[in-house]
A and B are shown apart, each in its own frame.
Chain A
Amino acid sequence: MAADFSFPDTAAKTAANLPQEFDPEKMSLSMGPSHPSTHGVLRIQFELDGEIVTKADPVIGYLHRGDEKIAENMTYNQFVPYTDRLDYIAPLANNMAYAIAVERLAQLEVPARCQAIRVLTAEMARVSSHLMGLGAYGIDVGAWTVFMYCFEEREKLYKLFEELTGARFTTSYTRIGGLQRDVPEGWVQQVDAFCDQFLPILDEILSLLSRNKIFLDRTVDIGVISRADAIAYGLSGPNLRGSGVANDLRKDRPYSGYEQYEFDVPVGAKGDCYDRYLCRGQEMMQSVKIIKQVVKNFPGGDWYAKDARKIFAPPKDKILTSMEELINNFMIVTEGPQMPAGEVYFEAENPKGVLGFYIVSKGGGVPYRLKIRSPSFCNLSLLPKLCVGNLVSDVVSILGSLDFVMGECDR
């Protein structure tokens, strides 16, 4: 006797515990939070008509740690390690953005050498972030080799990060008013040597994809973001520039001495996945160009703001030999760097997009409110619109091309 497989839709829906708003004729699919192509703990609740997405509802917050709440309860310097864990693919760039935001609050300018080191590390972080994004994107659309090439280069960068900061991943390199330490001897030359050998390899990596038939089929005309949408949804970084909007804060509102360096802002024409890929590839070349310029004109002098005595702790040898410096250090560590009351909003052009910090201070060493404007969060807010009408397999390609990090999205 043949078994009866015809369940009434409502019963099947109740049994599967599906959201009520979904059309019973359509299929519901939950992608993530643990799925290789969602790059972290993003979950998307799809409504599918066959293989076409008719509705997409991203579910985020799986990595929410309450960073903004934590920031309200600790001194400015103590929060630096938490910024590592926002965009954990490019911690050095986050460190820099946060430090500059607090320095804007204190109306403090750091010396040229400090600015140059920050630019150097931020651009290295950008290269490392885009390498990661590119390698992972390759895997998403079926190209394993790219990943291997990218990770070899990324590993070289991580060796350099380790030598500079003592950590490969969670660098916590900046302090308010300066850095954790000066660059080690010979390190800048190593960075230069890395750049020289990296450029031909980057060409090789990009040549694996740029004219690859399979890659083109998976990316060209897929996930097109119109210029108007990109602006209306507050996109930033390569995702915005891929849609033809040449916004780059390093050019438009130079900070940390970016105005001294010559570089171009690559923009896309169509706003599809392929354009975003091209933008990232070209951005790496521009970053290398900036790094070479920093290395060539590496400034001497102080690497922290010497006159900001209530903000940056004195060097260790001074602390151990001078009573006043010891007290000063003690005050900075326990009470935090002393800030005036007021409000600032600072944004930096990070690898994933524009990372902003809005700080409300009532004075003292602890922020009253610290809001993190995370680029991944704003970039992902377009997903409900962007996924609809695409095949599920193309959603994988779209997600990879948006290059988001959930640590930053969920905070």
Chain B
Amino acid sequence: MTTDVDLPTAVSQKFPSATPRASLDCPAFNVPPGEILAVLAHLRDAQGYDFLMDLTAIDWTAEQAPRFTVVWHLYSSTKHTYVRLAADCVDAAAPAMPSSTGLWPGADWLERETYDMFGIKFDGHPDLRRILMWDGYPYFPLRKEFPLAGLPADLPDAEVAAETKAGLIAAPMAGGPFVATPGGPMGDAEPRAKDEAWNEQTEKPE
């Protein structure tokens, strides 16, 4: 597997605040949020990392500080190598990060998705709206406290909701997938919501 071996020294010389990050494959750096755009621009213009392949975030749960880490993956079409950058959001209650849409227009949708799923605001994004969920959805589903079964919410269309009196319900997962937690035994898994309306004793309602 090929990696860019010269990159770690080049980046740490130019940006002393960028510290190496544990990684099993490509070079990776932890960068302070204030410097992330400068590092990204340097990698793109001086190091040949012309593709922004991926942009996402990790939620380390509400107990951890810092709670949210935003992760960028860049690819160089000349060196054929990757680099990973990570920046921690300072404020867990109102997480924010500078937007990289000025460097790559393709970051637009990726940042919208990260905002949609984690609630991280990207400062300077031209049109930060939800993208996979609908406008007005009250939760950020990839945050760790959001349960797998979902949470009750209103339907996106108020008119339909008023007409049908229907709403979103948490998905009953009886017979659904086994649910597990990372690093913990299966016994600690999130309990599955079971359909308690019928069992061996009481008949299945018609």
Mark A residues whose CB is within 8 Å of B. 60-61, 64, 66, 68-70, 72-75, 78, 104-105, 107, 231-235, 245, 247, 252-253, 334-336, 340, 342-347, 354, 356, 358, 360-369, 371, 373, 377-378, 380-382, 385, 410-411
Min CB distance, A242 to chain B, in Å? 15
- In contact, B142 and A252 (Cβ under 8 angstroms): no
19 further A-B pairs in the complex, CB-CB below 8 A; given A69-B141, A74-B177: A64-B133, A74-B180, A75-B180, A78-B178, A232-B105, A234-B53, A235-B106, A253-B2, A335-B185, A343-B23, A356-B53, A356-B73, A361-B182, A364-B183, A368-B58, A368-B182, A373-B54, A377-B113, A378-B106
Q: Give 7 pairs: A residue, B residue, CB < 8 Å, sorted on A.
A: A69-B146, A74-B177, A78-B177, A234-B53, A347-B53, A363-B182, A368-B58
Q: Which of A252, A340, A411 contacts B80 (CB 8 A)?
A: A252
Determine whether the beta carbon of B132 is less than 8 Å from that of A64: yes
- Contact: B131 with A342, CB < 8 Å? no
Task: State which of A66, A232, A344, A369 has its C-beta within 8 Å of the C-beta of B25.
Answer: A344
Interface residues of B in 77-108 (CB under 8 A from A): 77, 80, 82, 84, 104-106, 108
Contact of B183 among A362, A377, A382 (CB under 8 A): A362
Q: Are B131 and A354 in contact (CB under 8 A)?
A: no
Q: Known contacts A78-B177, A232-B104; decide if A367 and B77 are in contact (CB<8 Å).
A: no
- In the complex, what's the smallest C-beta–C-beta distance from B172 to chain A, in angstroms? 15
Q: How far is the CA of A61 from the CA of B50 in the complex (A)?
A: 28
Closest to A72 in B: B182
Q: Tell yes or no: B46 within 8 A of A by CB.
A: no
Q: Report the bound CA distance from A223 to B1 in whole Å.
A: 37
Interface residues of B in 110-168 (CB under 8 A from A): 110, 113, 117, 130-134, 141-142, 146, 148
CB distance from B191 to the nearest CB of A (A): 12
Given known A-B contacts A107-B24, A342-B22, A342-B23, A358 and B56 have beta carbons under 8 A apart: yes
Q: Is the interface of A mostly helix, strand, loop or mixed?
A: mixed
A411 to B73, CA, bound (A): 19
Query: B106 near A410 (CB under 8 angstroms)?
Result: no
Contact A381 B56 (CB under 8 A): no
Q: Quick one: closest A residue to B105, CB to CB?
A: A232
Chain A minimum-CB-distance residue to B84: A345
- 21-74 of chain B: CB within 8 A of chain A: 22-26, 28, 50-54, 56, 58-59, 71, 73
Q: Which chain B residues border A345 with CB–CB below 8 Å?
A: 25-26, 54, 73, 82, 84
**Bound complex: CA of A335 vs CA of B189, how far in Å?**
11
The verdict on B179 contacting chain A, using a C-beta distance below 8 Å, is: yes
Also in contact, A232 and B106, with CB within 8 A (given A60-B132, A69-B148, A366-B181): yes
Scoring B75, B186, B189 by chain A CB atoms within 10 A of each residue's CB, the highest score goes to B75
- The closest CB in chain A to the CB of B108 belongs to A381
B56 nearest in chain A by CB position: A371
The 8 lowest CB-CB distance pairs between A and B, nearest first, are A234-B106, A61-B132, A381-B109, A233-B106, A252-B80, A342-B24, A373-B54, A371-B56
